Amino acid sequence: MAMKYVEGFLLAVPAANKEQYIKHAADAAPLFKEFGATRMVECWGDDVPDGKLTDFRRAVQAKEDEVVVFSWFEYPSKEVRDAANQKMMSDPRMKAMGDTMPFDGKRMIFGGFVPVVDV
């Protein structure tokens, strides 16, 4: 059985755009499912402290009026995730959504991860 694969995201969203962000994520969810994601979790920052050396806010250069969002998508495998990312790049529905993102995508951090403990 193939190991699950997780793609994680960290971004800063203007607090005033919370409802718009939730709608954006909810509208995108069926596409990600179609492309192969088995789970999509979007988390609005609630207790995101400033650190002494590093922290989530600095990682995405969050401004005073922005909230850090942490999210992850689960895929059955890295291969499914890679294929999904290729489909996203060419799908006109994703391009249309990218034109109306309620956050600065240039400051989004993302990466793929192999789960090593999943309890």
Mean pLDDT of the chain: 92
Instruction: Of 118, 81, 115, 109, give the one whose Cα is nearest residue 8.
Output: 109
* CATH code that applies to domain 5-113: 3.30.70.100
Query: 113 or 100: whose pLDDT is higher?
Result: 113
pLDDT of residue 106: 92
Confidence of residue 119 (pLDDT cuts 50, 70, 90): confident
> Does pLDDT of 98 surpass 80?
no
pLDDT tens-place string over residues 27-64: 999 999 999 999 999 999 999 999 999 999 999 999 99
Domain ranges of the chain: 5-113
Q: What is the mean pLDDT of residues 64-78?
A: 97
What distance in Å separates the CA atoms of residue 11 and residue 110, rounded to the nearest whole number? 9
> Does pLDDT of 1 surpass 60?
no
Q: What is the pTM of this model?
A: 0.87
Tally DSSP H helices, then E strands, for the chain. 4, 4
